[in-house]
Chain A
Amino acid sequence: MQQNIARDKASTVSESRNDKLIGYLQQHLPKLVLAPSFAVILMFVYGFILWTVYLSFSASKMLPNYTWVGLEQWSRLWNTLTWQISLQNLFIFSVLYIGLCIVIGLSLAILLDQKIRLEGGLRTLYLYPMALSFIVTGTAWKWFLNPGLGLERTMHEWGFVDFKFDWLINSDMAIYTVVIAGVWQASGFIMAMFLAGLRGIDNEILKAAQIDGAPAWKIYTRIIIPQLGPVFLSAFVVLLHLAIKSFDLVIALTGGGPGNATSLPATFMYSYSFTRNQIGVGASSAVFMLMIIASIMVPYIYSEIKGGKK
């Protein structure tokens, strides 16, 4: 009798231990499942960021070399003419690219918002370029803008013999061809963002504005566009990081040339790290690009998180 009770006790103890284990598993299973991918990201994204930062202070040339040289690579970077041109190009490119994409995207969205027929079709048409890879866009525009093959030759064949459009091979103008191709690709996407924003505006507000006697363009400038602030911000952030990361578009369209006329920080980084045996300089340019992006993304993400909590 006494033994029986003792055995019962023992079995309930082991049962409750089992329950504890299951409870522990249930509570921690998600963490356990996520742990490997978390470790991989930690290593390959953040680990390599730190590694790159270290390399930018090292004597690395063709291969990584961990001798600490302080700011030597950084000063070399800033004394490189190509880097200065790259930054200047980046400035021209991003200002025009972001500005034109937003202006064109917003205008297209407003036109499409006029409840026209075929809207679905048109919207897809404008969105298609974004589905293409930058390489395809770059190559297509290279052919189109090539004086011997594309637009210029077609115009000559049509009889406009004096027509001249050689921006692609003109080192002063080549950067603008990158702008044209980039804008062509992204403005449809920006249009879709603005269209979603326009559709989100309360219909009754527009009715109220109509009764208040505002003409259509004033309804846009005074009431609708001021409400699109968040869309402008999102479009700006998306476009800016696309601009800073622009690499394949330039490689396919101009290859950074003529000369280094269309070099951008991303192409600079690639060529110094992997073809010119200057890993240290390449790493410092990469870190600098990270700093620009971070200085914009961090406040943006921070404000998004804060806004989300509210």
Chain B
Amino acid sequence: MSFLNIENVNKHYFDVEVLKSINIEINKGDFLVLVGPSGCGKSTLLNMIAGLDEISGGDISIDGQSMAGVHPSKRDIAMVFQSYALYPNMSVAKNISFGLEMRKVPKVERDKAVQKVAKMLQMEQLLDRKPSQLSGGQRQRVAMGRALVREPRVFLFDEPLSNLDAKLRVDMRTEIKQLHQRLGATIVYVTHDQIEAMTLATKIAVMNAGIVQQFGSPEEIYDNPVNTFVAGFMGSPSMNLIQAKVCKVEDKLCFEVATADQDRPLLLPIERDQQALVSYLNRNVTLGLRPETITDPGSANRSEGQIHEADLMVKVTEPTGADMFVVTQLGGTEVVARMRSRCGALAGQSCRFAFDVSRNLAFDGDTGDRIQ
């Protein structure tokens, strides 16, 4: 039995459809991340779970109980907002205990709960300050404390880290993950950052234009994206999506990809989804190659993958320290390969690339849907 059940939910503002038949189910203790570009309806969906926005159609239930017509304060949820939404006129302690006070929890218990949460988030020395006297990271902590103190059934986070600087964001991400593991809480978390989604989630719903494009575990989403949107959105650097043609060479199905040298296209043997791809023979498809599946021959994973090597012209190299991203031209677009930092690739020269063809994905050239 699923704990949070979003069934066929629709939302429209007047004529504008913002969400279209959303279906998501998660279990108790799951960490669901709603990820997608800005404006795709993530906040709207989260607000509907909270009861802050009305549902135009469908139903949301928590623990088997329909939430239709239930006031936000009666849903046993807590929410952390992007702007933190602290009450500026109240001290940190008051901010944290306000929800308990409204629920008529006696003062002694309130104080105890505030102390406990302050200790958990290491902010005991901040309790008497006003929000305006706190740094961004500290405000973030207070906002989390306000959610934690209530010990709700479901935590809702709306882009809680997007106003923090890069370093703090990574630290808080780790902290949120630890909190989730320690408390075993059920969390719905909205972000537009796919790295946050991958690191935190036990379940991801990738959204675009008001539709859930794919719902699954981070591994499923990463390894088996259902369309080019999901494939391109998840992963950093993002997946190379290039034009290719399915052809037959000596009785073997291959992707034929144009290279910088017009007379010598690259032929990559098809090892995956062969049956489905037979019907695409001599047709154009979109080929998806993750940067980490294209390497230098020395670091290719020969025990697990199936390696196909080819010499290609290097356009640009981008050393990051740990790795080197090597850019070449394939199928009319730039393709990023992830090589060892000392692989010797030089811009303007030819270099040997190793393709792990067992991990290549193919998408319909017109619809962008996965062929499998």
Contacts and interface: CB of A to CB of B under 8 A. Distances in A.
A209 B87 contact: yes
Nearest to A205: B85
A50 B359 CA distance: 89
A212 B147 CA distance: 9
A192 to B, nearest CB: 23
Given A207-B52, A211-B50, A202 B99 contact: no
A214 B79 contact: no
Contacts of B50: 207, 211
Contacts of A213: 73-74, 99, 102-103
B102 A208 contact: no
Contacts of A218: 102
Interface residues of A, number: 16
B202 interface: no
A204 interface: yes
Interface string A191-225: 00000000000101101111111100010001100
B110 to A, nearest CB: 13
Given A212-B98, A213-B103, A207 B85 contact: yes
A219 to B, nearest CB: 10
A198 to B, nearest CB: 15
A226 interface: yes
Nearest to B100: A212
Given A204-B81, A204-B82, A210 B72 contact: yes
B87 A205 contact: yes
Contact of A226 (B77, B83, B89, B98): B89
Interface in B41-88: 47, 50, 52, 71-74, 77-79, 81-83, 85-88
Contacts of A210: 52, 71-73
Interface of A: 202, 204-205, 207-214, 218, 222-223, 226-227
The 8 closest A-B pairs by CB, nearest first: A213-B73, A212-B99, A204-B85, A226-B89, A213-B102, A208-B85, A204-B81, A205-B85
29 contacts: A202-B83, A205-B85, A205-B87, A207-B47, A207-B72, A207-B79, A207-B81, A208-B79, A208-B81, A209-B87, A209-B98, A210-B52, A210-B71, A210-B73, A211-B73, A211-B77, A211-B78, A212-B98, A212-B99, A212-B146, A213-B73, A213-B99, A213-B102, A214-B73, A214-B98, A214-B102, A222-B98, A223-B89, A227-B88
Given A222-B87, A223-B89, 19 more contacts: A202-B83, A204-B83, A207-B50, A207-B72, A207-B79, A208-B85, A210-B73, A211-B52, A211-B72, A211-B78, A211-B79, A212-B73, A212-B102, A213-B74, A213-B99, A214-B73, A214-B102, A223-B87, A227-B88
